Structure formats: structure tokens, C-alpha cells
């Protein structure tokens, strides 16, 4: 059975707690306070309980703290799945959406997501879903717009006659 992993010499409990007060990330603060408890001489299992983790997890965070300091206790974003379109293709998609469809060649008067799926498949050879198109459009800064509903038998003259008008204000000459 291996012994406890020693902590860095260049920090102490007061310094780690001081750093924790300046952090915005609550998870990093929890980890820093658990490490400060270890600096104070608390057992590793009690310090892990303070930090809301088990001993093995605390040990892993101690390794990261020793290697990278307090900045190493921040969660790193995962790599995730790469985007289907590269930056050049995303730029071309933005241009396509901004220009709008050509009714003669595209067969539509406005872009819908299903139409953009077909355009991307035809231009780039990439098959994707309508949901992915939504993500692409959001990443490009576009938002969904819809027109205000209007009754098909609505009469503009009736609406104008119905509007309430105030009498003209009296102004002395």
C-alpha cells in the first residue's frame, strides 16, 4: 500500500484558502478547501469528505495541484465530437443563408432547415440532420424568426376604423 501523496512546499493552508476566496468556480473552491484541510493536518478521508469527494478523487486532484498549482483544479472542457463542417464550409453556409435562396435554381423562396440539409449534402457531400442545422445556424449567429400571425380574411380598412383616436389637444394660439 502506497503512502499519501505529499503536497507542494510553495503553498500553505492560509495561501490556498486565500486563493479560494478569489475564485469564481465553486468546484475549484471545494477542491482548494479540501487541500487546505490537508495542509492543516486533517486526514485525507476527512478532507475528502469536506470537499464532497472520495479519497481517490482527492488524491487525483492533489496530483493535479502538485503539477499545475491552483489553476489545475479547474474542470477542463472535454474535446467533444468535432463539427461536421470546417471553418471554410461554415463561412460558405453563412453566405448561403445571408444571400437567401434563388427560387429558379433552389426551388424555394426561403430557407428551411430541411432545405439547408439538402444544400449541404449537395455542396459538401455531408449528410446531417435538421437538428445539426439548428446548431450550425446558432454558431453562425443566426436566430429563428417568425412573422406575426395574421388572419387570412383580415381587412386593413376595418382595423383602421376600429383604432381609437384621441381628440386633438387644445393648444392656445
More confident position, 149 or 61: 61
- pLDDT tens digits along 62-113: 999 999 999 999 988 888 888 899 999 999 999 999 999 999 988 899 999 9
Give the domain ranges of the chain. Answer: 13-73, 87-139
Which 8-state DSSP code applies to residue 107? S
Kindly report the pTM of this predicted structure: 0.51
Number of residues in the chain: 173
Handedness of CA 115, 119, 120, 122 (dihedral sign): positive
- pLDDT tens digits along 13-62: 999 999 999 999 999 999 999 999 999 999 999 999 989 999 999 999 99
* 80 φψ region: left (φ > 0), alpha (ψ -120 to 50), beta (else): left
What phi and psi, each to the nearest 5 degrees, are found at residue 115? -70, -40
Torsion of the alpha carbons at 146, 147, 148 and 153, rounded to the nearest 10: -130
Amino acid at each position: 500500500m502506497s503512502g499519501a501523496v505529499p503536497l507542494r512546499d510553495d503553498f500553505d493552508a492560509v495561501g490556498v484558502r486565500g486563493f479560494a476566496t478569489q475564485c469564481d468556480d465553486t468546484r475549484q473552491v471545494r477542491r482548494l478547501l479540501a487541500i487546505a484541510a490537508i495542509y492543516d493536518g486533517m486526514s485525507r478521508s476527512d478532507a475528502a469528505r469536506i470537499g464532497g469527494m472520495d479519497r481517490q478523487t482527492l488524491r487525483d486532484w492533489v496530483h493535479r495541484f502538485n503539477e499545475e498549482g491552483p489553476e489545475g483544479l479547474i474542470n477542463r472542457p472535454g474535446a467533444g465530437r468535432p463539427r461536421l463542417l470546417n471553418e471554410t464550409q461554415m463561412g460558405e453556409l453563412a453566405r448561403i443563408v445571408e444571400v437567401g435562396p434563388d427560387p429558379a435554381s433552389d426551388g424555394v423562396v426561403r430557407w428551411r432547415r430541411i432545405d439547408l440539409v439538402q444544400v449541404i449534402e449537395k455542396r459538401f457531400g455531408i449528410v446531417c440532420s435538421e437538428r445539426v442545422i439548428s446548431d450550425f445556424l446558432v454558431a453562425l449567429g443566426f436566430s429563428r424568426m417568425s412573422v406575426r400571425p395574421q388572419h387570412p380574411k383580415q381587412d386593413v380598412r376595418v382595423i383602421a376604423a376600429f383604432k381609437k383616436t384621441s381628440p386633438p389637444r387644445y393648444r392656445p394660439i
